Chains A and B, each alone.
Chain A
Amino acid sequence: MATTAIDVRTAHGAGGGHVEEHGHSEHPPTSTGMDHRKLLMWAFLTSDTMFFGSLIATYLTYRGRAEDLGEGPYPSEIFDIPFTSVSAFVLLMSSLTMVLALAAIQKGNQRGLRIWLLATALLGSMFVGGQYFEFTEFVHEGLGLTTNMFGSSFYVLTGFHGAHVTIGVIWLLTLVFVSLRGGTTQGDSLDVEIAGLYWHFVDIVWIVIFTLVYLIPYEEVADVGASEAAHLISTFGRELSVINGLW
């Protein structure tokens, strides 16, 4: 090349329509050495913690309210811990397959990339399918979105998470499609890595939800009607409200 380039691709190399030079693993230089899109993804994930943080805060605020009011169905009667544990396990393992997909493409192994991406998408779909099944079960047992505070906060929290997983599955399938059409090379491994960051993040959110929503036991249902004035705080509340003592 007669001359060097004015590197304006830096200015737009990403933004989604990212077409890397074929076979070159060279990225436009940045002031920090951090890739534009990867930095964007980390910033997004950091922001997403606040998104899920607010949802979890809402769930925890209302944890135990259904019991307080004596309006079932209650989580203690409705949760199917073995089933959800399997779901949680499935999602956890999809993180493994995701990282294996990345490892494959970093070595230029296209076939490996596609197989592991497909495996991840499959596990993700299983998780979403499981959630659909769970929701349907719950509705059958009488827990609708508006039945009580438990129903509302549960469906909205896990539903938003499920939506994240669904978007992830679509993203992974898109990567598979791109790889089939044009071939994905070592130089494109960042595409996979970024999708992976998103995917693992969705997984860690579920780790938190699984513990806070499913595993931490709920207070037995209080034998009081809605007219009763003061109420109990759920087990979890009491455990953590040691702070109460200080206040």
Chain B
Amino acid sequence: MASILYPQPQLQGGTQTVARPRHSTRGLWSWLTTVDHKRIGILYGVSAFAFFLLAGLEALVIRMQLVRPENSLVGEQRYNELFTMHGTTMIFLAVMPLGSAFFNYIVPLQLGARDVAFPRLNAFSFWTFLAGGLILNLSWLANAAPDQGWYGYAPLTSKFFSPGDNVDYWALGLQVLGIASLAASFNFIVTIFNMRAPGMTMMRLPIFCWSTLIVSVLIVMAFPAITIALALLSFDRFTGTSFFAAFNVAADGAIVASGGDPLLWQHLFWVFGHPEVYILILPAFGIVSEIIPVFSRKPLFGYAVMVYAIAAIAFLGFGVWVHHMFTTGLGPTPDAIFSGSTMLIAIPTGVKILNWTATMWGGSLKFTTAMLFAIGLVSQFTIGGLSGVMHAVVPVDTHHQDTYFVVAHFHYVLFGGSIFALFGGIYYWWPKFTGKLLDEGLGKIHFWIQFVGFNLAFFPMHFLGLQGMPRRYSGYGRESGWWLWNAVSTAGAFLIALGILVFLLNVARTFAKGERAGDNPWDAATPEWMTSSPPPVYNFRQIPTISHRDPLWVEKYGAEAHGDEQELDVTIAGVTLAKGEVPDEAPVEQAETRVQADDEFDIHLPNPSYYPLLASIGIGMAALGLLVANPALPIGAIELPSLTLAGLLVMVTGIYGWSFEPAG
């Protein structure tokens, strides 16, 4: 019966040189070679969650150390390592890839597509991410964990002040992670532009896809800055240049001015770093924008405004980096300009808060766990946003800088914002992933414990900061008067941990005896619910045709229920990105080209491939070669470690194999 429908690619003589593994759905091998976006999403989710737990444990140790004055649970060096790895892991190995997990799993489904535009590139992104994460954490085993802070300020990172390998693990690990993020972002940009189902205009795109798109654009434009910064740092450390240090040690041991400037690091880092904080929060905004309408039983209020707000945040996000450098003495003009732009960026952020509130207004609210977490974001992020605007004011920030007030700010936006929303997303889409519902009772217990714990842990940090407690110190004196709030904060941290345990319990319970969810348990509106839960490998038997922003609601309740959908043209600088008006029915021609998969039809899916994994292994080896002792091989004037060379060779083999294996 199964006839192959797509004309099998006629392979050109010269290019059919390598074989491609066959489909299999079980076993380790099938996971290692998978190119299925859903499986890659699961891989991202599981590994990111593991890193999240690890970073959480690190945080608990930090909080134990600070529970009372003059504590000596961990030494200063270990403390530095802990807060550095906590921050780096949470940002690059937990929050970003948890976002990626949703991008991977959900976006193609929301687009009505069968996969992403470049499935193998997608697998490559994941394996490279994993390689970067492992390199970073291998430093623990080498007893050389990075100890300079997640922002890696120069000149502390110089060989002079940090002679060990610690900084190198960090720089190379992040470099590898950067490759992964860039590859994934190119992929999602193309996927979202190019693989929308018939009828899905840009202004019918589910809002989560919009936030994925904008995050990808941010990554693509911001990561090169840190790529260069890290490359220059590595040059400083491996070859003795002084891009980020004002001095060099001459051969005779004398310290001489080099002309380098530590401030350049801060510029390059924050040119990346501020867009990065939006990279961390926009996926969360996207998730919340999906959850709130569903449980308010109302379409999202002001969809178009929401889209423009995300875009505005992204664009303005490139013009505010100096607000991290107000105390470096750049002078009144830069301070004034960047203070202004920072306040400006709070406006589109406020618009989003308003839209979520207005979506809930007058809706018939259903307080499911997912909804609770979404509301958690709206309330907690707002607190973080407000303290953000406070340190947009230069004289105020002069007091805040490097105190716990800033720590409070970024935990309200990152934990209260991103982490809450990500948990919301997990509860909301769990049935999509597994076909089973997480237990709502345990879920609510989880939420409330985490909510109380979070506020207990981080609200007191505002007080501590204003009382002058500095960040990054491994202890404080008895006379400081900071004991009480620190103890409260530590208690809060353990409460959060308890909340996470409840979540894990919930997951375990659901696997054991979870309730079957059905295809659309929340009566949601967006296209990912148009297929079964969990979806078949090919996602949709028939590619849906989209005629509304909330297709399932329109189908079920009629167009009136949908509210006032306004079709808008998206026009920037005279170039129309997306047309508003759309044919009422799919043109006949397209109905023919996108044929339904009946029993007698086969859906042709991309075959698995091991080359992405091979290329990632190569990259990992290349980075590792620079870190671990191995004999160096000279190439011309340059000496490279043999492991690095071998890694590059493996990588090139992977890329060529990938290019020449049959596309099928």
A residues whose Cβ falls under 8 Å from a Cβ of B: 1-22, 29-32, 34, 36, 39-40, 43-44, 46-48, 50-51, 53-55, 57-58, 61-62, 65-66, 68-69, 71, 139, 145-146, 148-149, 152-153, 156, 160, 174, 177-178, 180-183, 226, 247
Q: Is the CB of B604 within 8 A of A152?
A: no
Tell me if B242 counts as interface (CB < 8 A to partner A). Answer: yes
Tell me if B655 counts as interface (CB < 8 A to partner A). Answer: yes
A-B contact list, 25 entries, CB within 8 Å? A2-B3, A4-B5, A5-B5, A5-B593, A6-B594, A6-B597, A9-B604, A11-B113, A12-B115, A12-B606, A13-B663, A15-B117, A15-B119, A17-B662, A19-B664, A21-B10, A22-B10, A31-B195, A31-B200, A40-B186, A148-B259, A152-B260, A174-B659, A181-B12, A182-B13
Chain A residues with Cβ below 8 Å from B9 are 9, 19-21
**A183's closest neighbor in chain B, by CB?**
B12
Chain B residues with Cβ below 8 Å from A31 are 193-196, 200
Q: Is the CB of B259 within 8 A of A66?
A: yes
Considering only residues 222-250 of chain B, those with a C-beta below 8 Å from chain A are: 222-225, 227-229, 231-232, 235, 239-243, 248
A145-B115 in contact given A29-B593, A152-B235 (Cβ < 8 Å): no
**Which of A1, A14, A39 is B189 in contact with, Cβ under 8 Å?**
A39
Q: Is the CB of A3 within 8 A of B601?
A: yes
A12 CB to nearest chain B CB (Å)? 4
**Which of A4, A11, A149 is B259 in contact with, Cβ under 8 Å?**
A149
**A226's closest neighbor in chain B, by CB?**
B257
B159 CB to nearest chain A CB (Å)? 12
- The CB with the most chain B CB atoms within 10 A, among A5, A148, A153, A156, is that of A5
Q: Is the CB of A19 within 8 A of B11?
A: yes
A125 CB to nearest chain B CB (Å)? 15
**Which of B118, B242, B595, B655 is A14 in contact with, Cβ under 8 Å?**
B118
Q: Is the CB of A36 within 8 A of B194?
A: yes
A46-B221 in contact given A15-B121, A30-B194 (Cβ < 8 Å): yes
Q: Is the CB of A4 within 8 A of B220?
A: no
B166 CB to nearest chain A CB (Å)? 22
Report the bound CA distance from A13 to B120 in whole Å: 10
Chain A residues with Cβ below 8 Å from B186 are 40, 43-44, 47
Chain B residues with Cβ below 8 Å from A9 are 6, 9, 604, 663
**Which of A19, A61, A174 is B662 in contact with, Cβ under 8 Å?**
A19
Report the bound CA distance from A149 to B240 in whole Å: 11
A69-B195 in contact given A39-B189, A58-B243, A145-B239 (Cβ < 8 Å): no
Q: Is the CB of A4 within 8 A of B35?
A: no
Tell me if B268 counts as interface (CB < 8 A to partner A). Answer: yes
B53 CB to nearest chain A CB (Å)? 32
A179 CB to nearest chain B CB (Å)? 8
**Which of B597, B637, B663 is A18 in contact with, Cβ under 8 Å?**
B663
Report the bound CA distance from A31 to B538 in whole Å: 19
Tell me if B116 counts as interface (CB < 8 A to partner A). Answer: yes
A140 CB to nearest chain B CB (Å)? 12
**A64's closest neighbor in chain B, by CB?**
B259
**Which of B187, B223, B261, B594 is A7 in contact with, Cβ under 8 Å?**
B594
- The CB with the most chain B CB atoms within 10 A, among A17, A51, A247, is that of A17
Considering only residues 164-215 of chain B, those with a C-beta below 8 Å from chain A are: 182, 186-187, 189-190, 193-196, 200
- The CB with the most chain B CB atoms within 10 A, among A10, A139, A180, is that of A10
List 10 additional A-B contacts (Cβ < 8 Å) besides A31-B194, A36-B117, A178-B14. A5-B5, A11-B113, A11-B114, A12-B663, A17-B662, A19-B664, A29-B593, A50-B221, A55-B228, A181-B14
Q: Is the CB of A152 within 8 A of B224?
A: no
Tell me if B331 counts as interface (CB < 8 A to partner A). Answer: yes
**Which of B189, B229, B271 is A43 in contact with, Cβ under 8 Å?**
B189
Report the bound CA distance from A145 to B538 in whole Å: 53
**A139's closest neighbor in chain B, by CB?**
B637
Tell me if B253 counts as interface (CB < 8 A to partner A). Answer: no
Chain A residues with Cβ below 8 Å from B232 are 58, 156
